[in-house]
Structure 1
């Protein structure tokens, strides 16, 4: 029995030892979204304060674990009045729910550079599974820092009603479907 436990511990330790952690280069990243307003125009916004950590043992990221946190108070749509309304109880209720989180449950390779990124999104106190599309733009060595970097574009569509965000606002005013757009540059630690 002791040999089995020791063997398992060594196997786990060797797998963990090969895992690489990637941190967000905040100067080269954006977490954005888009909704349709009054069924005729698109309005874009972003979260100015967010962080992403990726852990992967494979160079092609097929076993990656992605963790994201965003400060709901940092919502920005280039309109102070609208931003204050989005932070209110009518939408994100940021005093009560200040953080949005995502933690992946799988990162499955679909094709050469495309992945299905599945995980649990928590927003406005509600956690739901979502699947997003991730595209690996590439990896390279940064010419100045000499560190390995990777670039991803992550997109997907969620329904705000699934998370009770803006439940008093009809979809004819602000679309229920929200398009997510993230551009991430990651640095291998």
Structure 2
């Protein structure tokens, strides 16, 4: 693994490697346990034309109907009008507006998250894991972990379900490997 250089990531377009990327979430259930899930159909595109990454743009699109918590009945309920209403709001999107370096491998990524027809500004934490050349395809890959917390009530998701049943705070947990687009 080599050290991260702005020149390695800059002036190129990148997309997530679906086989090595996961877009997940965690909520508390009845204040006593955590339930996790993921969106199985999502794309992340990253582009920067300047070496200093000052024009970095990150765009995420997830199909709301691809929600998967490993419980079919729960997934069906989450797709309904009680929660994501996937017929009316088929996509979840995030578009970055800014970023800032916090430490050598830690960043803040700010942008607009749209779910359930509502757009809110969010700040996400990004940890850069490194870069490597994949020996199977000889392509350079970059790895990141993205985390954050959103309030589902701010997006009108699950308004009939109180905090004591399902936490309003939803943790976002994504692990993403990028390949050249």
Please indicate, yes or no, whether the TM-score normalized by the shorter chain is above 0.5: yes
Contact 1:142-1:148 within 8 A present in 2 as well: yes
CA distance in 1, matches of 2:119, 2:150: 12
Shift of 1:170: 0.3
Moved more, 136-145 or 25-34: 136-145
Which residue of structure 2 aligns with residue 117 of structure 1? 109
Contact 1:63-1:107 within 8 A present in 2 as well: no
Which residue of structure 2 aligns with residue 184 of structure 1? 176
TM-score by length of 2: 0.91
Contact 2:11-2:51 within 8 A present in 1 as well: no
Match of 1:135 among 118, 127, 141: 127
Gaps of at least 5 residues in structure 1 are 1-17
Matches within 5 A, 1:28-39: 28-39=20-31
Match of 1:152 among 144, 156, 160: 144
Shift of 1:163: 0.3
CA distance in 1, matches of 2:88, 2:64: 10
User: Runs (4+) of structure 1 moved beyond 4 Å?
Assistant: 58-63
Contact 1:21-1:53 within 8 A present in 2 as well: yes
The C-alpha deviation readout for 1:37-70, integer Å capped at 9, x for no partner, is 0000000000010000001246675642110000
TM-score by length of 1: 0.87
Which residue of structure 1 aligns with residue 154 of structure 2? 162
Matches within 5 A, 1:77-96: 77-96=69-88
Distance 1:181 1:62, change over 3 A: farther
Judging by fraction of residues, say which structure has more helix.
1
The C-alpha deviation readout for 1:123-158, integer Å capped at 9, x for no partner, is 000001000001111112222222221001000000
CA distance in 1, matches of 2:166, 2:74: 12
Distance 1:46 1:56, change over 3 A: same
Give the root-mean-square deviation of aligned CA atoms.
1.4
Which residue of structure 1 aligns with residue 43 of structure 2? 51
Corresponding residue pairs, total: 172
CA distance in 1, matches of 2:138, 2:49: 20
Contact 2:124-2:147 within 8 A present in 1 as well: yes
Q: Which has the larger radius of gyration?
A: 1
CA distance in 2, matches of 1:59, 1:40: 47
Between 1 and 2, higher relative CO (CA 8 Å, sep ≥ 6) is seen in 2
